[in-house]
Amino acid sequence: MDATPTTGLSPRDRHVPVMLERVIELLEPAFDAARAAGRTPIAVDGTLGMGGHTEQLLRRHEDLVVVGIDRDPNALAMAAERLGPLAERLVAHHGTYEEVPEALAAAGVDRMDAALYDLGVSSYQLDARERGFAYSYDAPLDMRMDTDAARTAADLVAEADEAQLRRIIRQYGEEKFAAPIARAIVRSRDERPLTTTGALVEVIRSAVPVAAGAKGGHPAKRTFQALRIAVNEELDVLEAAVPAVLDRLQIGGRVVVMSYHSLEDRIVKRHLNEWATSTAPPNFPVVLEEHEPVVAMLTRGTEKANSREIAENPRASSVKVRAAEKIRASRSKA
């Protein structure tokens, strides 16, 4: 289901990388550190997508090798198309973004100098109607980031009981009307299967007060987010990915994570703060090296896109960027 023919646009025309210049600025010192240590700089793009950030990194650093991870085989194909000859320095890995060790092994290394994670659903996935991510038009209720995966959103909606649906919608969508929405889904599916985005939207509309929809945007927005996260196990993957990335960074290496909603950002913040904090007991007179922080934060809180960037790319309006540099070896897991 290659999405390119849907719009007739090339991957480069269809994808504008979010906060491109700032991301490159944050990562570049890690490449300099690798060269100073006599290494070829290795970067991991854990969410390769259509390759927008990777393209510019490869263009600006002729010795850089990028290990690109994506669970969507269509994205890997479109990134290769976009990169053209630059793809000679791309090592592609089809999988989820916590698979850093496996992806690095494919490149013949076990550590990297930089990592970029641009989280969430990609622009082309939202724009490709047949993928079923969007609530703005009718399409099959799919939502799989990996088109080879077995379970779709339609399967989840059909199989989960009311309590499970309520928990998913409340937890992953932060939807205060989770209970009536879950109840309406179960009631509706007993009459006919919910297999399209349009059918699900109508059920959600029936359960959400009109006034709430007028104030909070589209009434289906949070439920669609919740189902997408559940189908793709996004938060579980992210929980595993952040420590895996930090562990495999070289000293002097840097990681940049771009989140688009609070659930993602909380996970990233918690892991980065944990690695940036001493583990020595309070008031301990001598802090041993194994208790010292492993990373230093490069951003104060989160950084956001400026008004110019948002005007050029409205999807940048919700981005939150956190970055850190590895300053010493990872703590022992013993």
127 closest CA partner among 91, 182, 175, 75: 75
- How far is it, in rounded angstroms, from Cα 271 to Cα 269? 6
At which residue do the structure tokens 């927005």 appear?
221
Q: Is residue 213 marked as binding?
A: no
In 84-152, where does DSSP find H-type helix?
100-106, 123-127
For residue 133, give both structure tokens: 């991510």
Instruction: Please tell me whether 301 is known to bind a ligand.
Output: no
Please indicate if the annotation marks 125 as binding a ligand: yes
The helix/strand/coil state of 261 is: coil
* DSSP-derived pairing of the beta strands 42-45 and 65-70: parallel
Query: 109-147: b or e for each residue (b if 16 or more CB lie within 10 Å)?
Result: bebbbbbbbbbbbbbbbebbbebbbbbeebbebbbbbbb
Measured distance CA(88)–CA(290) in Å, rounded: 40
Specify burial of residue 108 (Cβ count, 10 A radius: 0-12, 13-18, 19+): exposed
What is the DSSP-derived secondary structure letter of residue 317? G
Backbone torsions φ then ψ of 195, nearest 5 degrees = -115, -5
Burial (CB count <10 Å: 0-12, 13-18, 19+), residue 5:
exposed
The answer to the question of whether 51 is labelled as a binding residue is yes
Q: Which amino acid is at 278?
A: S
* 53 appears as a binding residue in the annotation: yes
Residues within the annotated binding site? 51-53, 70, 97, 118, 125
Residues within the annotated binding site for S-adenosyl-L-methionine? 51-53, 70, 97, 118, 125
